[in-house]
Amino acid sequence: MNNDRYSLRGVSSSKEEVHAVVDHMDKGLFPGAFCKINPDFLTGDPEKCCVIHSDGSGTKSTLAYIHYKETGDPSAFRKTAQDSMVMNVDDLICIGATENILISSTINRNARSIPGAVLAELISGTEAFLEDLRKQGITIRSGGGETADVGDLTPTVTVDSCAVAVMDRKDVIDNGNITGGLSIIGLESSGQATYENFFNSGIGSNGLTSARHDLLSKQYLEKYPETADLTTDPRYLYCGPFSMSDTLPGSDLSVGDALMSPTRSYAPVVAKLLSKHRDQILGMVHCSGGGQTKCLRFGHNVHFIKDALMPVPPIFEAIQQASQTSDAEMFRVYNMGHRLEIYCQPEAAEAIIECSQSFGIKAAVIGRTETNESENTLSISYKGQILDYSLTH
């Protein structure tokens, strides 16, 4: 089958068409940072800066919808609310923002498919997750939100968020400082952190368009055609071997629970790390859109070498087994086992790993950076082969 199944489903992991526009726009105070950072226009304080960030749960909300239709239980949408929050919060922590965060949610629904019981779970789930973050020392508050009935635009529901933070300029983590000679620390995406009450498959909120269609069977297309883009070649719609209730191979989770595992936030870990090791952390990358190739967009003339990866969680092995997706595409679409990367001075690696593991999150030196003569490049060692990537290839 075609090696780029993601694009065949109408999705781009690299978002070339977006970057073709935004890469030529003003990049803010710290052009190399993970998020665009502006002067603090809110107060005019020259020592502070402001960042606004928007993201959401993407098509992952579709899984909660299917679960709800199958069981009548709307509680899975609480996980969707967390997905949307984390996709903003964990981008912000990559610039060092772990306090003074205000976040707002937007729910676009088809009211015929998404009733009040679902909205209640989304709204209360948002507030509960923010309270959990506050208990872990993250100062974050809800700024309200919007619920729009847009049945002409969406057959089910989309859940998005927007976050604003103000911080001292001196505290910004600027990925423009990523150079050769650094250690790359990976924080695992699966498992159970001390602040979580569930075991996480590690799926996060990226690549779910392919994950869902590659794992779940045609029965879901037949029962819920509203959950698919019917202009896509039918060969790539719900073409997997599983039902939601089947056990995920190599795991104690069901396929449905593995796919719906709420995206883990690393904010509590990063807050503690920055309180002790901020000066030794040169950059952080949230391996979201672009998966393990996300790092290519940061630093200059850097060769990223990932040659000691963490074990690949069963969810990704099942996706690849079911779909025969190439190794190269798997690492371009999914986090494949670690969703946060910390770029640090080598002497700080042990302390950073110990800090992460104190939260029950495994961490390891998964690679290093070297100086490149030209563009950024990435080499991933996997199953005895080297997968090479660059922004132009």
- What tokens does 344 get? 């640090």
CA distance 158 to 113: 12
Q: Please state the domain extents for the chain.
A: 5-200+260-390
Q: How does residue 1 score in pLDDT terms, banded at 50, 70 and 90? A: very low
pLDDT of residue 19: 52
Residue 391: which of 269, 304, 276, 264 has the closest Cα?
A: 304
Coil/strand/helix, residue 100: coil
| Structure confidence at residue 27 (pLDDT) | 84
Q: Provide CB contacts within 8 A for 309, sequence distance 6+.
A: 186, 336, 337, 338, 366, 367, 380, 381, 382
Percent over 70 (pLDDT), the chain: 94
Spatial separation of the C-alpha atoms in residues 298 and 191, rounded to whole Å:
28
Q: 242-300: per-residue pLDDT in tens?
A: 999 999 999 999 999 999 999 999 999 999 999 999 999 999 999 999 999 999 999 99
pLDDT in tens, 92-141: 999 999 999 999 999 999 999 999 999 999 999 999 999 999 999 999 99
What single string gives the DSSP state of each residue in 5-64? HHHHTT--SS-HHHHHHHTTS--BSSTTSSS-BEE-TTT--TTEEEEEEEEE-GGGHHHH
Lateral strand order in the sheet of 385-390: 281-286, 338-344, 183-188, 363-371, 302-306, 377-382, 385-390
**Looking at the predicted structure, is the pLDDT value of residue 159 above 70?**
yes
Q: What is the mean pLDDT of residues 140-148?
A: 94
- State the average pLDDT for the chain: 94
- Compute the average pLDDT of residues 54-60: 95
Give this prediction's pTM.
0.93
pLDDT at 2: 42
List pLDDT tens digits, range 186-235: 999 999 999 999 999 999 999 999 999 999 999 999 999 999 999 999 99
Q: Mind listing the pLDDT tens digit for each residue in 25-36?
A: 688 999 999 999
**pLDDT above 60 for 12:** no
CATH 1.10.580.10 fits 5-200+260-390, yes or no: no
Q: Let me know how long the chain is.
A: 393
Contact 292, 355 (CB under 8 A): no
